[in-house]
Amino acid sequence: MKRGEFIRIISGGVVMFAVGRSAKAATKGGVKRGRKTLRFGIFTDSHFSDTPTRGTRFYRDSENKMREAIETFNSSDLDFIIELGDMKDMPPSADPKQTLQDLAHIESIFREFDGATYHVLGNHDMDCISKEEFLAATTNTGRAKGRSYYSFVARGVRCIVLDANFNSDGTPYCRGNFDWKSAMIPAEQLQWLDEELSAHPKQPTLVFLHQLLDSFSNINKNVCVNNADAVREILERHSQVRAVFQGHHHAGHYSHRAGIHYITLQGMIERAAPTHNSFAIVEFSPSGELLIDGFKDCPDREF
């Protein structure tokens, strides 16, 4: 078992470290009806592709890493699972049929979870196919099916999924027509976000997206949403927003501002299986306590 960091954070301050857990340590049992806390499985950047390893990216290994995550999620007490984008990977010049085959394969493993499943769009999800093709080949549960941004409620917690995969002129990412360093959330979606939060002021809210919103921190701005300031202005006007979960930056990151935790998970793709993997189980209580039970390379965190 790799040493992982256990971080307890109070008002943004890191106060202690301990050893993380292996994937075999998950709690057994199905969903418990009497439980008051929200529990969900989460991972990001699996980048699955039937292509050789390049650098630290072990594309084929993501198949077994995903299986390990889903096996752990299925043996745990969870309300849903969500992946934060870049589920698959291909160069823009690749054959769309091949990337759709790879996507169908990794999606079939994801769908082995016995419960609700949700996707967040990442830039590589549209590297040689369109958003419509990606959404048609994957499954979001309930009314989220076929949508790139949406909301759903679990255990009284509102979960909002955003899509920042748009060029500066507002055109959507499609078949590689984008620069990954340029991502933005269009005005129409910003209006929807504000209306969604305004309509449910008493529901604790978690936000999910691929690219990062915490451009105010010491993170490389290339991995951030270009109009992150506008998005944060909306989030900070609504006190029910507790945390933002992000992917894209494979090393992971954390920051805190105006009562909102910005948590970037480590990328699943990095380094070889079976020693390495990255996924987590998140538990969120009505009182605002947020626990992240990380596996292998993903650190545990307590907020």
**CA distances (Å), origin 260, targets 48, 138, 220, 225, 286:** 31, 30, 20, 17, 15
pLDDT (0 to 100) of residue 226:
98
pLDDT (0 to 100) of residue 15:
38
pLDDT (0 to 100) of residue 23:
59
pLDDT (0 to 100) of residue 16:
32
Q: What is the model's pTM? A: 0.92
Residue 122 parent element (H or E): none
**CA distances (Å), origin 34, targets 53, 114, 149, 155, 264:** 45, 19, 30, 11, 30
pLDDT (0 to 100) of residue 8:
59
Residues 6 or more apart in contact with residue 49 via CB below 8 angstroms:
59, 60, 88, 89, 90, 99, 102
Angle, vertex CA 42, rays to CA 40 and CA 45, nearest 5 = 165
Domain spans in the chain, listed from the N-terminal domain onward: 6-24+38-302
Structure tokens at 33: 């009806």
- Check if CATH label 3.60.21.10 holds for domain 6-24+38-302: yes
pLDDT (0 to 100) of residue 96:
94
Which region holds residue 213: left if phi is over 0, alpha if psi is between -120 and 50, else beta? alpha
pLDDT (0 to 100) of residue 288:
86
pLDDT (0 to 100) of residue 33:
64
**CB atoms inside a 10 Å sphere around CB 55:** 6
What letter would DSSP give residue 267?
A: P
pLDDT in tens, the chain (303 residues): 333 445 555 544 443 333 445 654 454 445 566 788 999 999 999 999 999 999 999 999 999 999 999 999 999 999 999 999 999 999 878 899 999 999 999 999 999 999 999 999 999 999 999 999 999 999 999 999 999 999 999 999 999 999 999 999 999 999 999 999 999 999 999 999 999 999 999 999 999 999 999 999 999 999 999 999 999 999 999 999 999 999 999 999 999 999 999 999 999 999 999 999 999 999 999 888 999 999 999 999 999
